[in-house]
Every structure is written in structure tokens, then in C-alpha cells.
Amino acid sequence: MKQLYLNVRSGLLQVNIDETRWKLGNLRKYGYMARGTQRQQLLKDLSLPVTAITAITGDGHKYCKVYIGTTIDSSLFNVFLSELITHLLVNQCGRCVFFLDNCSIHKVGAERIIKAANHVCLFNAPYSPQINGIEYFFGDWKNKIQCIRVTVEDIVLVKLCNLLVTAYGSFQPENIRAVLNHVETVKWQTQMVDHCQQNSKTQINQKSTLTKKGRKKEKQYMSDKILNPILNISNNIDKRFKHKSLFHFEVVAKHNSVKFIKREIQ
């Protein structure tokens, strides 16, 4: 994370990419069984996978492709990544720093594609979704549609696609920037302060000869050493990136009855 914010401070545009999934339909959990027979039975999963690969940027851009009826592998992710880089290049977004989690599909060719385009690729620490801003974006997105109950029907799939694009389009650039700023100013810095304090306690225990005043200075030094280089980065984002926010939403369906949706606003 420190490397991410140092790159942003040097003028690179932050780009967070990840996948999220919905399941249409429900697994039947209750039913009738004949008396004396086994009460547990394996039931077929009646759901249909709907997966979205999404990217959000530090200046409020959002770019998404939704895949229906298929799972995401490294080849699909790399295609999405190549199209995203082209999209950012066409809209003159400049050099970027891409922030990915440690999912296995992100490790097959993604870093090579990013570096070949003269961008920077960074990976999040394992098991640390709380410091990845796009996870909060996914949470807000799902909250907008969580009250809708759907089943696997042709017309419902089209309605779901329209619902997804409506909820997705409701996010304004300031909403996306607020999510990323929240991670920087609250989640990550709090975690780093706790880490610094723990390290300082360990070092103080090893240096038992320090006075109380000396321990206080040592503790403050450990915190400032890490936090000072990345403070106030988000406050300068609006000054550096003044171009209009771009909206892209695309549905790729392996289902004959689902209409192909592609919408782009500049």
C-alpha cells in the first residue's frame, strides 16, 4: 500500500480491479421426504453465475464487463485488462498504477500486460480486502440490488442486466473517490499506526534502558517514518485529473435469450 500511494503522489492514476459475483435463483433447502427415508439429499444448484470484472480509478472512472453463464479465468481477465488499458489510453488518462489482489487468475500474464503498456502493477497483501477500495464499491453496488429476488427465467435475466447497469451508473465520481479516500485515510493508516505501535513496543522491550521520554520519541519516530511520505495524497487528485468521468458497462452472455448490452458515455 505504501508503494501504491507513493506512485499516486508521483502523478500516476490509481486503478483498482477485481471481480464480484451474483447468483440467480436459490438452492431449495426444504422439502418433503417419505417417512423412514434419509432426510438429507443432494440437490441441484438452480442458480446461474453472473460475474462482473470491474475497475475504478482515483478520478472517478469506472469500467465493467459482466459475464453471464461462465466463470472467470485468466484468459478472460487478461482480455478485460487489455481492453481497459486501451480505454484509458484513448481517453488520455496518462500513466497508471494498477492495484490487484492475490487471486491466482491475476498472476497469469496480467503483470506482463500492464508493464508492456508502461504502467505499474502492484498486488495487495494476502487476506487484506479491508485495504482494497474496490471491495467497498462492490458492497455499495450489491446493497442497491439486494432486495430484488430473481429466478432463472429469460425475461428476468434481461431485467437483471438492466438493474445492474442502473445501479452501476448511479455511482458518481465523487462516490468512487470517497471510497478510495476512506481506505487511505481510515483503514490503511489506522492499520499502519497499529503496526508501528506494535513494532515500537517490541523495540522498547529490547531497549529497556530507554527513559519514558525516549520511548515516546521512539514510538513517534516509527509512526512518522511510514506515514509522512503518503499523507495528503488524495487531496491533490482533483487538481491533477480534470478530465470528465467515463462510464462503461458491458454484458457478455452465454445465454441465447439475453440481449447484449453495451453502453458508453463520455
Helices (H), 170-263: 173-182, 189-206, 212-227, 237-240
Q: What is the pTM of this model?
A: 0.69
Q: What pLDDT, in 10s, does the model give residues 231-240?
A: 333 333 333 3
Question: Mean pLDDT per 10-residue run, the chain (266 residues)?
Answer: 86 94 62 68 62 91 86 91 91 90 91 94 89 91 72 58 82 89 71 53 50 49 37 35 54 51 40
pLDDT (0 to 100) of residue 33: 67
pLDDT at site 63: 92
CATH number for the segment(s) 2-25+43-173+240-265: 3.30.420.10
What pLDDT, on a 0 to 100 scale, did the predictor assign at position 145? 76
Please list the residues that pair with 24 across neighbouring strands: 48
* Residue that the C-alpha cell 453472473 belongs to: 50
What is the C-alpha to C-alpha distance for residues 224 and 226, in angstroms, rounded to an integer?
A: 5
Grid coordinates representing 189? 493508516
CA-based angle 249:253:256, to the nearest 5?
Answer: 135
Q: Is 39 exposed, middle or buried (0-12, 13-18, 19+ CB in 10 A)?
A: exposed
Query: Hey, where are the domains in the chain?
Result: 2-25+43-173+240-265
The alpha helices in the chain, defined as continuous H runs, are 2-9, 74-90, 110-116, 133-145, 154-169, 173-182, 189-206, 212-227, 237-240
Q: Which of 224, 137, 133, 141 is nearest to 181 (CA)?
A: 133
pLDDT of residue 43: 53
Beta bridge partners of 67: 51, 252
Distance CA 186, CA 168 (A): 25
CA distance 178 to 110: 27
Each residue's pLDDT tens digit, 13-67? 999 999 998 766 555 556 666 777 766 655 555 567 788 999 999 988 899 998 8
Q: How confident is the model at residue 189, as a pLDDT?
A: 57
pLDDT of residue 84: 93
CB-based burial, 146-172: b 16+ in 10 Å, e otherwise: eeeebeeeeebbbebbeebbebbeebe
54 DSSP β-pair partners: 18, 64
Q: Report which of 150, 208, 180 is spatially closest to residue 4, judged by C-alpha positions.
A: 180
